[in-house]
Amino acid sequence: MDAPHARVLITGAGTGIGAATARVLARRGDELALHHHLHRAEAESLAEELVAAGGRAFPVPGNLTFTKDLDRMVHALSSRFPSLEGLVLNAGAYPRTAFDQISDEQFEATVRLNLFSPFALTRRLLPLLRKATPSPARVVLVSSILAFNGSAHGADYAASKAGILGLARSMARELAPGITVNVVAPGSIDTAILAEDTPAQREARGRQVPLGRVGSPEEVARVVAFLTSPDANYMTGTTVHVNGGLRMD
Ligand SMILES: NC(=O)c1ccc[n+]([C@@H]2O[C@H](COP(=O)([O-])OP(=O)(O)OC[C@H]3O[C@@H](n4cnc5c(N)ncnc54)[C@H](OP(=O)(O)O)[C@@H]3O)[C@@H](O)[C@H]2O)c1
């Protein structure tokens, strides 16, 4: 019989921080549901890569802004997983727009993906999370340094990421002791989100960081791995900054 292992859903697992997290968690033996939306091919080939390396992973599609997709995902997970030991709420989008150009629709869409969908997905998954073996289940939400600093040309994004802090702390209080809820707040991390940077902007971004460079997705993934492991048993409601010293709290 298989040794007990954690079952974990990672949203936005086809790319960036989500894909890096999948690789780190697969290495320690977790069974992974790899959520994706537009990057289907990337999520499918990542699942194949992890399975070929002896791991357990399968893709789960869905547009997290549609409740019917959330319901479909939860149904798909419930039919494969008897319990859920980990939930990494990583998917998010950062449309860069000047404040006076942000339409009502854009603001609502950003909040819907970055803030509403973590709430709605977690609430739907509570029955599976409450069956976590061993308990507690571990939820990690990906916020941002911009939740603390604000963002010129990203008021909708910063507001949604700040909302995650209140959501996570509320869940941490209400869902304890069976579920822990923590937040990771990355600084500048080398993913598609920074792809709009020119080489000069990118170099300037690195110079602002005390550690002298932008971070890698793996450097965030390792902190997510810690927060979804028994090493973080006595942590809930906490925010861990992963930003090279760009902000020190
Ligand atoms: N990179 C940074 O500097 C940085 C800094 C602070 C915080 N973060 C946060 O880190 C998280 C991961 O971002 P990343 O940097 O790794 O960038 P990324 O590669 O662009 O990842 C974003 C993920 O969100 C998913 N997503 C976007 N819209 C979606 C939708 N409507 N429905 C479902 N999934 C959707 C994408 O899935 P598909 O591609 O499959 O559509 C993608 O996998 C985000 O929450 C971001 O805000 C990043």
Instruction: Give tens-digit pLDDT for 82-110.
Output: 999 999 999 999 999 999 999 999 999 99
104, 24 contact by CB (below 8 A): no
Enter the tokens of residue 237. 């409601």
**Domain annotation covers residue 248:** no
Distances in whole angstroms, Cα of residue 43 to Cα of each of 32, 170, 231, 244: 11, 31, 28, 28
Q: In this structure, what CATH number is given to the domain that contains residue 128?
A: 3.40.50.720
pLDDT score of 197: 82
197 Cβ neighbours under 8 A, 6+ residues apart: 205
Maximum Cα–Cα distance across the chain? 60
Residues contacting 51, CB < 8 A, separation 6+: 57
Catalytic residues: 157
193 vs 108, residue with greater confidence: 108
Q: Supply the range of the domain harboring residue 123.
A: 7-242
Tell me the β-bridge partners of 212: none
Ligand 1 atom with least separation from CA of 14: 43
DSSP annotation of 136: P
Instruction: Please indicate whether residue 41, judged by its CB atom, sits closer than 6 Å to ligand 1.
Output: no
* Closest protein CA for atom 42 of ligand 1: 12
pLDDT attached to residue 200? 87
Q: Is the CB of 91 under 6 A from ligand 1?
A: yes
- Look at residue 118 and tell me if it is in a domain: yes
CB 29 within 8 A of CB 55: yes
Nearest ligand 1 atom to the CA of 189 is 3
Q: How far is the CA of 9 from the centre of ligand 1 (A)?
A: 15
Nearest Cα residue to atom 1 of ligand 1: 189
Omega before 177 within 30 of 0, i.e. cis = yes
CB distance 121 to 11 below 8 Å: yes
Would the CB of 64 count as within 6 Å of ligand 1? yes
Is the C-beta atom of 90 inside 6 A of ligand 1? yes
- Is residue 156 domain-resident? yes
220 falls within a domain: yes
The residues with which 6 forms a beta bridge, in sequence order, are none
For residues 239 and 242, give the distance between their C-alpha atoms in angstroms, rounded to a whole number: 10
Q: What is the mean pLDDT of the chain?
A: 97
Judge whether residue 154 has pLDDT over 60.
yes
The terminus-to-terminus CA distance of the chain in angstroms comes to 46
The whole-number average pLDDT for the span 29-49 is 98
Instruction: Report DSSP state, residue 45.
Output: H
- If one counts the domains in the chain, the total is 1
Tell me the CA–centroid distance for residue 4 and ligand 1, in Å: 30
Q: Tell me the residue type at 134.
A: P
pTM for the full predicted model:
0.98
Tell whether 249 is covered by a domain. no
Residue 2 covered by a domain: no
- Overall average pLDDT of the 214-232 stretch: 98
Which residue CA neighbors atom 37 of ligand 1 most closely? 12
pLDDT given at position 195: 84
Can you read off the two tokens belonging to residue 71?
Answer: 């319901």
Tell me what pLDDT residue 157 has. 98
Whether ligand 1 lies within 6 angstroms of the CB of 240 is answered as no
